[in-house]
Amino acid sequence: MEGKFESAGLEAKEPCGTINTILCINMELTPGAMVRSVMMATEAKTAALQDLNVNSCYSDGLATGTGTDQIAVASRLTGKTPLTGAGKHTKLGELIGRTVKMAVAGALELQNGITPLNRRSVLVHIERFGADEKGIKEGMSVFLSKEQAALLMNNFDCINSDPITVAAAAALVHMRDKFIQRILPVTCLVEIFTTYGAHLAAAVSGKYDRFILYKNRLPNKKIRLEKSAFLEFIYCCMAMGFEEKWKKNEKPSGFRQVRRSGNSGGIIDIPLN
């Protein structure tokens, strides 16, 4: 107020989120090189956010920054020949990219507690579609008995942070992104979603010999790209695996077991015609 800065202390009502970056360069730059420095810093900031799977608060995509981000560039006036480039094919551009990416990642860890380790979470990968912990539990419980739903409440964390389950959920989310981006044709939607959904169910149960069974059980008619439908599909897949997680392996109805020939050996389930 009145030209003076006052500390907000603990009274600030709005959460911190702006990413302000100051580049200090010990060489003189041309105006064009300064602009290019801002571009490199912006790309590096976005790369740091996407490496950590930071979700956008305003779309169902990944964040590229915040609406109030600022970048300032300060370079020395040496009177010598200024640097004319700061892009990807220059040493200065390389240094800007590496430094800003490292600084943004460090700031996210210090201010927001965001690290690669705590991004290992199913919730982190699907929260951009509107999911939260309560929603996941309730969504899975729809497909479970009361006893299994109660068991889920006490075992959610170990499933949510299990690396194999996180990998399967992340793969399914990635497939949805490819459909939204029109890289994959919607004519393949059911086949791809049931395949990756079965992987998710098997990751939760730990029973990959049941993969074909899971794939055939998934409700094809409910597979859609809308956010609510997509979340319901994920909950269904996870619940299917959770339902069998502690069960002993049994021969699934409608299947017969055959032994593989050759060096691979093993027993697989074959659907009955």
Domain residue spans of the chain: 20-116, 122-267
Bridge partners, residue 98, by sequence: none
Q: What is the rounded CA–CA span in Å between residue 42 and residue 107? A: 15
- Of 135, 192, 168, 183, which Cα lies nearest the Cα of 241? 168
State the CB neighbour count (10 A cutoff) for residue 216: 14
- Residue 86 in contact with residue 93, Cβ under 8 Å? yes
Q: What is the pLDDT of residue 17?
A: 77
Q: What is the rounded CA–CA span in Å between residue 34 and residue 83? A: 9
Q: What is the pLDDT of residue 264?
A: 45
Instruction: Provide the whole-model pTM.
Output: 0.80
- Residue 50 in contact with residue 62, Cβ under 8 Å? yes
State the CB neighbour count (10 A cutoff) for residue 26: 8
Q: What is the rounded CA–CA span in Å between residue 197 and residue 200? A: 5
- Of 203, 53, 67, which Cα lies nearest the Cα of 128? 53
What radius of gyration, in Å, describes the C-alpha atoms of the chain? 25
Q: What is the pLDDT of residue 5?
A: 61
Determine which helix (DSSP H) or strand (DSSP E) holds 260, and give its type and residue range. Answer: none
Q: What is the pLDDT of residue 268?
A: 52
As assigned by CATH, the class of the 20-116 domain is alpha beta
Walk along the chain (273 residues) and give the pLDDT tens digit of each residue.
566 666 656 555 556 679 999 999 999 999 999 999 999 999 999 999 999 999 998 888 999 999 999 999 999 998 899 999 999 999 999 999 999 999 999 999 999 999 999 999 999 999 999 999 999 999 999 999 999 999 999 999 999 999 999 999 999 999 999 999 999 999 999 999 999 999 999 999 999 999 999 999 998 778 999 999 999 999 999 999 999 987 766 555 555 555 555 544 444 555 554
Determine which helix (DSSP H) or strand (DSSP E) holds 248, and give its type and residue range. Answer: none
**Per-residue DSSP letter, 60:** S
Three-state SS for 267?
strand
